[in-house]
Amino acid sequence: MTDRTSAGRPLAGAAIGTLIEFYDFAIYALAVPVIASAFFPKGDSGAALLATLATYGVAFVVRPLGGIVFGRLGDRIGRRRVLALVLTLIGVSTAAIGVLPTYGQAGLLAPLLLVLLRLLQGLSAGGEVTSATSFALEHAPRGRRASWITIVIAMSAVSSIIGLLVVLGVAAATTNAQFEGWGWRVPFLLALPLSLVGLYLRMRTEESPEFTEAARTDNLSRTPLRDAVRQNPAAIWYAFALSATSALAFYYLAGYFPTFLQVTAGLSRVQALTANGVALVVFIVAICLAGIAGDRFGRRRMIRIGAALLAVSAVPAFLLAASGSIGGAIAGQVLVALSLGTFGGGSYTALLEVFPTRLRVSGASLGYNIGYALLGGTAPLLAAALIRATGLVTAPGIYLAIIAVLGLAGVWRIPETREPRDAQVTAVEPARRAG
């Protein structure tokens, strides 16, 4: 095997798990109308939709707990072992959704089991992203940290496209009655073989060199979460603020827009999913290019530009998406995709780099998962509730604009963490190069 192939293994191992994690969340979001019918009482379709979106959100409630548990393990026993654990849990819990009984078959037991499995998904997801991105960060070549991290994060959108194609493929191969009866289960069942492939790739990688060196020199913390809270409170705040902003925008894009386009804008399932797929492709390209820019021009510049773009484009994005045309749907979502991609060119790397190696996974997991629990998990439910309460199709956009402004203010003085061209930085104190 070539050196280049070996060098790329950590990136592939980190990326595959992120792809599978977000695939699991994506297929649930894409199948929301069908799940509402299958797992909740028929009668009030609006109430069933809100209940399904609330079930979507419960997975985010336990993400901070997952971050605490797996973050501590990641800083104590290593990133690689944790990545194997969480990937196994993600695959099993997702595939199990595909064999659940419906409300008509099991009554209240059906939604209760659905909630339980969503909680297990959330627990595993809480340990996945920051463990995977820390693993990639600590393996990345000099001067390419943001480029590597954004490739890992781009997998979250790639997984949504894969999920979209799977759902569209199954829907095309079945009648509406068949899809609503059993076809929706197929994408969930596919999670298990995908997880096995990912587990194989992860087990063929080496532990990160930074963690290995910290362990060799006895520079690991026995209480990494407590030490992170005591020693790096500003870093935890930055991780929260960055994650909250990106969580809301991302779960609008990958989790809510498909439902919004069908329920509010009146597009067909195929039109809504196609428009969403185009926007996700734009996001993938945008965030990868923004990662290159983040390595060249710095994390803080990309964060500031991206947050400002989110603030000014959010309301026009929803106006365009609600137009009832597929062109408007694509244009509105592309505005969010470009803005979020720019923001991600700096944010996902900076929220790791503000922590030293010995506390990185625990500290970043805490801030990241609280942000995603509060803003990401509630995004689809709150967006639907805002429209229902106000009658304004732009209400979710107004909310996103406000969060983007607050997020920009909260991280305005975040330290510039881009490593010098001639040396690899392994830890950056939160107060360094602020201003």
For helices 326-353 and 269-297, the axis angle rounded to 10 degrees is 40
Angle between helices 109-139 and 209-216 (to 10 degrees): 80
pLDDT digits (tens, 9 = 90+) for 224-266: 999 999 999 999 999 999 999 999 999 899 879 988 999 899 9
Q: What is the pTM of this model?
A: 0.84
| pLDDT of residue 2 exceeding 70 | no
Q: How far apart are CA 358 and CA 381, in angstroms?
A: 37
Beta-carbon contacts of 79 under 8 Å, excluding residues fewer than 6 positions away, are 131, 132, 134, 135, 138, 207, 208, 211, 361
Nearest CA to 360 among 63, 151, 82, 133? 133
What b-and-e string marks burial along 140-153, b requiring 16 or more CB atoms within 10 Å of the CB? Answer: beebebbbbbbbbb
pLDDT of the residue at 420? 63
Q: Which long-range contacts (CB under 8 A, 24 or more apart) does 410-416 make?
A: 410/237, 410/238, 410/241, 411/238, 411/241, 411/242, 411/303, 411/307, 412/304, 414/238, 414/242, 414/299, 414/300, 414/303, 414/350, 414/354, 415/300, 415/354, 416/298, 416/299, 416/300
What does the chain come to in residues? 435
391 Cβ contact list (under 8 Å, min separation 6): none
114 pLDDT higher than 60: yes
C-alpha neighbours within 13 Å on the C-beta side of residue 288: 13
Q: In whole angstroms, what is the distance from residue 119 CA to residue 9 CA? A: 30
CB atoms within 10 A of CB 402: 13
Question: Is residue 22 within 8 Å of residue 160, measured between CB atoms?
Answer: yes
pLDDT of residue 7: 63
> Which residues are CB-contacts of 193 (< 8 A; sequence separation ≥ 6)?
none
For residues 106-121, average pLDDT = 87
182-219: pLDDT as tens digits: 999 999 999 999 888 888 888 888 888 889 998 899 88
Q: Above 90 in pLDDT, residue 335? A: yes
Name which CATH class applies to 3-410: mainly alpha
The pLDDT score that the predictor gives to residue 432 is 41
Task: Name which residue leads in pLDDT, 404 or 168.
Answer: 404
Q: Using alpha carbons only, how large is the chain's radius of gyration in Å? A: 21
